[in-house]
A and B are shown apart, each in its own frame.
Chain A
Amino acid sequence: MEAHFRAFTFVDRIIGVKPGVSIRGQYTVPPGVDAFPASLVAEATGQLAAWAAMAAVDFTHRPVAGIAGAIELLSTVRPGQVLELSANLESVDTETVGYSGSASADGIPVIRLLDCVGPMMPVEEFDDPHALRNRFQLLSAAGAEAGAFGGLPDLDLKRDSGEWGQSASAILHVPSDALLFGDHFPRRPVFPGTLLMHANLQTAATLTAEVPCDNGLAWVPRTISDVKLRTFISPGETLRLEAKRIDHSGGVLKVAVESRNNGRLIGSAGIEFGTAAPS
């Protein structure tokens, strides 16, 4: 399968855009995928914002993942649902883009991204600017054919240590070769920051499973805050992910997650869990 604009692309249509200001779009979650987790909804919202940013600078630069002040996880998405995406750009130039965004499905809010900042980098390092411009025009006109995404790749993530109920540590082997790298990005394969977020959520979940929850309820992530990605993650790298319990009171559990490559901190975030009936 041709990977470009298929393997890790989550915007099918741009409904309206004011370059550099705001954008609305859609993505149809393929009905055949097993799941479409929150991290991919965040990715879809970020990709929509990226289109507005790239259009504002005439496709000379593109944003890469950097900072998210807060990601509010409001509900889940089922395969086959249509995501309604929107983003507002606080500022954009050839150095950085600041934006907020949201996604909903069937009128129900799914995710909110607040105070996001992405460094802008020369687009030619990552992709063909003409291909991007053409894709933007397609998305803004008839839209792209839906259903290309084949599902989340299996992540080689194994918990290997930790203190019961207090911390969890896991090793993530970033795949050396995966279809998504042909799309993210064609000229420079980079492990998506949202997949690192997904792995961190999974690691944190192994920790929260060890923390007692009242009345038979379960811990569910509600907000991811102060997300920061410090460097690109290349295919084949081995990362250590750590989750530490920070606070537990009043039905709220706070966990700090850090990702390291050879001891160097490459990503961090705080996750706030609330309680819900087990699914």
Chain B
Amino acid sequence: MNEINNIKINNDEIQSVFPRVAETIADAIGCEVEKVKLNASLIDNLGAESIDFVDIIFRLQRLFKVKIPRGKIVEEARGSLSETEFEKAGVVSDAGVSRLRDYLSEVPPDRFKSPLNVADIPRLFTVETFCKLVIRQQRATPTADVSTPA
């Protein structure tokens, strides 16, 4: 199980949203859904660009009826660290990298380069990252769509 800030996300929950998240990402990026594996990096494996991230977020918001504020992943990873404790001059601090590793537990540790630039954080995001993002926002939103696909 994955834990952050006492919020546990189990694999059953991830699998319950994965098909719809995968289809959403495939539609947004314009690739075949078979390529959208849970551990695929959106940028390095699927070729996503910044406009694709915008597209994916808006599509997920509509599909799951949740709000996903910009920078939500980094904000939650940062947790109790202040912004200056998390990064300086565009480079993530050691404490910040440690927080990111805990939060993005689905990302293999060797992908966390040192030094890690803030601008490169999105390169770490996988399809599972977005599944977890949806699940967290569903929990925070009483009217979210939590139905499973037929």
Chain A residues within 8 Å of B, Cβ to Cβ: 66-67, 93, 95-96, 98, 115, 117, 119, 226, 228-230, 268
Q: Does B55 contact A (CB under 8 A)?
A: yes
Once bound together, how far apart are the Cα atoms of A79 and B49, in whole Å?
A: 39
- Please determine whether B27 and A117 come into contact, CB atoms closer than 8 angstroms: no
Which DSSP category, helix, strand, loop or mixed, fits chain A's interface?
strand
Residues of B within 8 A of A226 (CB): 27, 30
Contacts of B27 in A (CB 8 A): 226
Q: With A226-B27, A268-B30 known to touch, is A117 a contact of B54 (CB < 8 Å)? A: yes
Q: B70 at the A/B interface (Cβ < 8 Å)? A: yes
Let me know if A117 and B70 touch, CB within 8 A.
no
Choose among B49, B51, B58 the residue that contacts A98 (Cβ–Cβ < 8 A): B58
| Pairwise interchain contact B70-A93, C-beta atoms closer than 8 A | yes
Which residues of B have CB within 8 Å of A268?
A: 30
Q: How far is the CB of B61 from chain A (nearest CB, A)?
A: 8
How close is B70's CB to chain A, nearest CB, in angstroms? 5
Whether A67 and B70, one on each chain, are in contact in the complex, defined by CB atoms closer than 8 angstroms, is no
Interface pair A66/B62, CB less than 8 Å apart: no
Given A95-B70, A96-B70, A226-B27, A115-B51 contact (CB < 8 Å): no
A228 to B51, CA, bound (A): 8
Residues of chain B lying within 8 A (CB to CB) of residue A93? 70
Closest to A229 in B: B51
In-complex Cβ contact of B58 among A115, A229, A230 (8 A) = A115
User: Within the assembled complex, what's the spacing in Å between the Cα atoms of A66 and B56?
Assistant: 13
Chain A residues lying within 8 Å of B54, measured Cβ to Cβ, are 66-67, 96, 117, 119
In the complex, what residue of chain B is closest to A268 when comparing beta carbons? B30
